[in-house]
Each structure stands twice: as C-alpha cells, then as structure tokens.
C-alpha cells in the first residue's frame, strides 16, 4: 500500500467561511493535497484573495489545462440566491465540484433569558440553514455528474464543521450548541439518504482551536491555563489539525466512512475532570 502526496489531485473543493481560522486551514491543506480550491468569504475579501495568491504561488499537483488552482467567491451562506450563485460560478469555472467543506459558523452568545430572537435566528440561519443550502447545491451537482472512477470512487464528499458542542451542552451559548446538535442529525440523515448514490457525508467536531471565534478563551495566559484544564492533550488545537482531518475525510482513504463524526479535540470529550482518576 502506498500513499499519494496528492490524494485529491483532479478534484475541486469549496470551503465556506474559508477566509479565516479553520476554513483557511482546511483550504490550505486541501490545496496541498492537490485539490483546486474555492475560498468562500462573507466580508473579508482581501483575506480570501491573499490565501488564493498564497496557494497559487505554492504550486503543487498538475491541473487540467486552464484550470485555476484557487479562486475566492463572496457569498452569505444563509442566503439561498447567493449560495446558488456561488455554486453556479464554481461549476462555470471548474466544470464541477467534488468536495464541500461546510465550515462557515458564528456565535452570538447570551444568557438564556436575555437571548434575543435575532441572536437565535442568526446562529440557526448561518450554522444550520447555511449548511443545508450549500449541501443541497453540492448534492445536485454530485448526482448530475455521478462517479468518475479516475478521480474518486465517490460521487462527492461533504464535510460538515460541527463542534464538541454537538454533545457537550454549553451554558450561555444555547443557540450555538443547538445548531451543532441539529447539524449532527442533518449530516446523518443526508448520509443515510445519499449513500446509495455514492455520496459520503461526515462531520468533524473540533475542540478548542486557536481562531478568531474564540480569541477570548486563549489569548491571555490566565484564560489559556483555564482552557487547558479541559484538554487532556495539554495543548490548544491549530487550524491545520482540522485541515489534515478534512483531507482524510475528503479522500478515498476514508471511502468506508459515512455518516459519522470525527472528534478532533485533544480529548476534550473524554470527561477531562477524570484525567487523574476523578
Ligand atoms: P472563524 O470566525 O475564523 O471562522 C468562521 C468563518 O465563517 C469566518 O471566515 C466568517 O467570515 C465565516 N462566516 C460567518 N458568517 C458567514 C456567512 N453568513 N456566510 C459565509 N461565511 C460566513 O472561526 P473558526 O473557529 O475558524 O470557525 C469555523 C467553524 O469551526 C465554525 O463552524 C465553528 O463553529 C467551528 N468550530 C470552531 C471551534 C474553535 O475552537 N475555533 C471549535 C468547534 C467548532
């Protein structure tokens, strides 16, 4: 058995919320694995375009004639028409799409009694409805194209960015934890329905990863020490920790993995209070 350095050669991947944090890490890892990458951004066009330039200048796997190595597309994943336009532009540019990383997500934190309907709806619209809208467009294209055995033994792969909070309740963040809990069932039901068409859908549940979404939790030594008490591995995760898992779930190396959640959390879900025997 041998591993190709370009396990995703010839494939096209779209990463939502790809201009920062975990999405950026995933986009860079996918490109290093040989995929052409669409970096979706919401507001930070300059950051997305910088990542595109970096990916192009790094070079890598040979691409089909005239195919760009990376492009940036702005879209709000919670808006149906913007999502449709993003997929139309992707397919017009690359001919198809093979991998969707449904990564865009937000927090709008508040104590339960103070949480406004606007805070609740915004988190549901981005974290859950946004994943539904993007997955639906990707699946339409996967079904239209079907399997191309020289590219992948799947008709398409979707990786949903969940969180350890799909299983760990989170006081002060009920909208966020509920969106990730709901995402688990969205992912599993899609995987069950679409497996006969050779479409694989899985989630990654990150633990604490150093990104802008949770700066407050790791940016001072005091906060970091408190956070580390929750992580048996003894370190905060980095976007590449998630990017490497994305590449594996997107590749044929994980062909028999479908409808599951891969926890990439340094053991955060292992009841850390019991690390020294409880
Ligand atoms: P981040 O804030 O850097 O990334 C979130 C990205 O989503 C940003 O690029 C943002 O612009 C984009 N986004 C927000 N609203 C959008 C919209 N309506 N349309 C398109 N894009 C939109 O934070 P991150 O930590 O990289 O988060 C990425 C994903 O990982 C999220 O789904 C988050 O819930 C999940 N996650 C993060 C952690 C962590 O510790 N950082 C842990 C568990 C899960």
For residue 168, the tally of other CB atoms under 10 A from its CB is 16
What is the separation, in whole angstroms, between the first and last Cα of the chain?
Answer: 42
Joined tokens for residue 38: 């669409």
Is residue 271 one of the residues assigned to a domain?
Answer: no
pLDDT at residue 3 in the model: 65
Ligand 1: atom nearest CA of 22 is 26
Q: Is 176 a catalytic residue?
A: yes
pLDDT of residue 5: 77
**Ligand 1 centroid, distance to 20 Cα (angstroms):** 8
Confidence label for 154 from pLDDT (cuts 50, 70 and 90): very high
**Which ligand 1 atom is nearest residue 217's CA?**
40
Say if 190 falls within a structural domain.
yes
- Kindly report, residue by residue over 219-266, the tens digit of the pLDDT: 899 999 999 999 999 999 999 999 999 999 999 999 999 999 999 999
What is the bridge-based pairing of β-strands 36-41 and 12-15? Answer: parallel
Split into its structural domains, the chain has a count of 1
Of 185, 186, 176, give the one whose Cα is nearest residue 206: 176
Q: Is residue 276 part of a domain?
A: no
The answer to whether residue 5 sits within a structural domain is no
Answer yes or no: is 189 within a domain.
yes
The CA 24 to ligand 1 mean position distance, Å, reads: 10
Question: For residue 248, is it within any domain?
Answer: yes
The mean per-residue pLDDT over the stretch 58-66 comes to 89
- On whether the CB atoms of residues 161 and 213 are closer than 8 A, the answer is no
Question: Which atom of ligand 1 lies closest to the CA of 23?
Answer: 26
71 occurs within a structural domain: yes
pLDDT of residue 1 exceeding 90: no
Q: Is the pTM here over 0.85, yes or no?
A: yes
pLDDT tens, residue by residue, 156-176:
999 999 999 999 999 999 999
Residue nearest to atom 33 of ligand 1 (CA): 105
Q: How far is the CA of 151 from the centre of ligand 1 (A)?
A: 29
* Bridge partners (DSSP) listed for residue 158: 100, 201
> Which CATH number does the domain housing residue 27 bear?
3.40.50.720
Ligand 1 is surrounded, with C-beta below 6 A, by: 16-17, 19-23, 42, 76-78, 103-106, 126, 130, 161, 163, 206, 208-209, 211-214
> Is residue 35 over pLDDT 90?
yes
- Residue whose CA is closest, atom 8 of ligand 1? 17
Report the share of the chain in percent with pLDDT over 70: 99
Answer yes or no: is 188 within a domain.
yes
- Could you tell me the residue range of the domain that residue 152 belongs to? 12-266
Choose, from 41, 176, 256, 271, the residue flagged as catalytic: 176
């Amino acid at each position: 058995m041998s591993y190709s350095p370009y396990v995703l050669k010839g494939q096209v991947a779209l990463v939502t919320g790809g201009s920062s944090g975990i999405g950026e890490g995933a986009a860079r890892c996918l490109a290093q694995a040989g995929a052409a990458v669409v970096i979706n951004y919401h507001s930070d066009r300059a950051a997305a375009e910088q990542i595109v330039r970096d990916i192009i200048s790094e070079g890598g796997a040979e691409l089909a004639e005239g195919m760009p190595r990376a492009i940036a597309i702005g879209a709000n994943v919670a808006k149906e028409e913007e999502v449709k336009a993003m997929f139309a532009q992707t397919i017009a540019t690359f001919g198809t799409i093979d991998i969707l990383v449904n990564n865009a997500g937000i927090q709008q934190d508040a104590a339960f009694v103070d949480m406004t309907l606007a805070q609740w709806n915004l988190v549901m619209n981005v974290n859950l409805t946004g994943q539904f809208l993007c997955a639906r467009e990707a699946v339409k294209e996967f079904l239209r194209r079907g399997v191309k055995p020289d590219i992948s033994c799947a008709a398409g792969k979707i990786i949903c960015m969940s969180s350890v909070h799909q299983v760990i309740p989170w006081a002060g963040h009920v909208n966020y934890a509920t969106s990730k809990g709901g995402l688990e069932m969205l992912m599993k039901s899609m995987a069950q329905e679409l497996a006969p068409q050779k479409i694989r859908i899985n989630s990654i549940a990150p633990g604490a990863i150093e990104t802008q979404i949770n700066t407050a939790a790791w940016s001072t030594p005091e906060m970091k020490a408190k956070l580390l008490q929750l992580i048996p591995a003894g370190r905060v995760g980095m976007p590449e920790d998630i990017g490497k898992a994305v590449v594996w779930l997107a590749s044929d190396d994980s062909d028999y993995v479908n409808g599951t959640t891969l926890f990439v959390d340094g053991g955060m879900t292992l009841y850390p209070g019991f690390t020294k025997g409880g």
